[in-house]
Amino acid sequence: MRFTFALAGAVALVGVTTAASARDYISIAGSSTVLPFATIVAEQLGNNPSFKTPVVESGGSSVGKKGVCEGIGTEFIDIGNASSRMKTGELEYCDGNGVDLTEIKVGYDGIVVANSKDGVPLVISKADLGMALTAMVPACADGSTNVNCTDMVPNPFKKWSDINADYPDVEIRVYGPPTTSGTRASFAEMVNEKGYCKKDEMAKAALKAAGAKAKTCRAMRTDGAYVEAGEQDNLIVQKLQEDPSAYGIFGFSYLDQNSDTLHGAVIDGTNPTFDEIAEGSYSVSRSLYFYVKHAHVGVVPGIAEYMAEWVKHWGEDGALSDAGMIPMPEAERAQYAAAMKDLPKLTADMLK
């Protein structure tokens, strides 16, 4: 009897397998930074009785960009989310699989350095912030003489005040995301590399002497000054609330939600506020994108409507800005709203 039960189970399995071929919901995957916003839009579309709510998977920007390029057919995702722009190499993978995409920028996300309101606020230049956190610095960066200035040494700074007496007399301890995170990659690129290594004369000279690229500066300190606190930004927020001497790196939306207990560091004279990021004067911010597959538009129901939902909510007063996404300027919004209709094919030239 038990064996007939098993047999019935197997038969049922085959039965439902054949039934489950067509997909009537949108499948989305990618960046965990875009996910909180994409899910808001997905939920709005799901409120419309004509459409099922899209399924939004996490996984990271690379999963989004690669996943959408993997092929055409309902077993592949329709839309890939990314918090970094597609690179030409990634686009080649797409072309190789015969997938045409349109790139839609949806808004911006600020990356903030914050600490508890009980602690000393940090007012710092981007170059110094990079110098405090990058793994290797020129030997005389800390003002020491009798050393070869073009030698790279492990970061010697213990306290913020070691860099500049105006900075807080507090040990450098910054909680941040691990290497798998897009937030970390963007921070390292914008602050360590572009803010410090490509600006600071001493660092440029040392890198040149070593024949190294500025990219090497993206490595974060591993001597305890930079502490990997896991992918969960909420965890970092909790740690900062418990320990006023520590600082943390995370997305703006988390600062926005906890603005009563945390304050953001002023970087290059600008406060990480909604308006400053939106105007572009707060420089540590990045664009959020999604990539939509042409071949699936009109095949999987609701893709055009899903994109239209973004337009409804990505404005200054929309649900997305309420959740911490920084809206694009009016002109840019109009440009991408038009792209949703025309679906221009993403080419390598556009990425340059």
Q: Which residues are near another protein by CB under 8 A?
A: 2-3, 5-6, 9, 12-13, 16-17, 19-20, 23, 25, 27, 29, 32, 35-36, 38-40, 42-43, 46-50, 52-53, 55-59, 73-75, 77, 231-234, 251, 253-254, 256-260, 319, 323-324
Shortest distance, position 107 Cβ to another protein, whole Å: 15
**Apex CA 109: angle with CA 100 and CA 66, to 5°?**
30
Shortest distance, position 6 Cβ to another protein, whole Å: 3
In this complex, which beta carbon is closest to another protein, that of residue 71 or of residue 204?
Answer: 71
Shortest distance, position 232 Cβ to another protein, whole Å: 5
Strand partners, 116: 262
**Helix, strand, or coil (residue 123):** strand
User: CA gyration radius for the chain?
Assistant: 23
In this complex, which beta carbon is closest to another protein, that of residue 144 or of residue 261?
Answer: 261
Shortest distance, position 56 Cβ to another protein, whole Å: 4
Tokens of 243: 């320990």
Amino acid at 232: Q
Please answer whether residues 233 and 255 qualify as being in contact, where contact means their C-beta atoms are separated by less than 8 angstroms: no
How far apart CA 320 and CA 255 sit, in angstroms, is: 15
DSSP-assigned letter for residue 188: I
In this complex, which beta carbon is closest to another protein, that of residue 235 or of residue 339?
Answer: 235
Nearest to 39 by CA among 258, 313, 299: 313
How far apart CA 10 and CA 4 sit, in angstroms, is: 10
In this complex, which beta carbon is closest to another protein, that of residue 168 or of residue 251?
Answer: 251
Shortest distance, position 235 Cβ to another protein, whole Å: 8
Amino acid at 326: I
In this complex, which beta carbon is closest to another protein, that of residue 2 or of residue 352?
Answer: 2
In this complex, which beta carbon is closest to another protein, that of residue 178 or of residue 344?
Answer: 178
Beta strand 247-251 pairing with 101-116? antiparallel
SS3 letters for 81-120? Answer: EECCCCCHHHHHHHHHCCCCEEEEEEEEEEEEEEEECCCC
Shortest distance, position 66 Cβ to another protein, whole Å: 14
In this complex, which beta carbon is closest to another protein, that of residue 59 or of residue 153?
Answer: 59
Shortest distance, position 70 Cβ to another protein, whole Å: 10
Longest dimension (CA), the chain: 87
How far apart CA 228 and CA 236 sit, in angstroms, is: 9
Shortest distance, position 198 Cβ to another protein, whole Å: 32
How far apart CA 221 and CA 218 sit, in angstroms, is: 10
CA distances from 244 to 68, 115, 120 (A): 43, 7, 8
Shortest distance, position 146 Cβ to another protein, whole Å: 48
In this complex, which beta carbon is closest to another protein, that of residue 130 or of residue 264?
Answer: 264
In this complex, which beta carbon is closest to another protein, that of residue 259 or of residue 335?
Answer: 259
Nearest to 226 by CA among 166, 181, 272, 260: 181
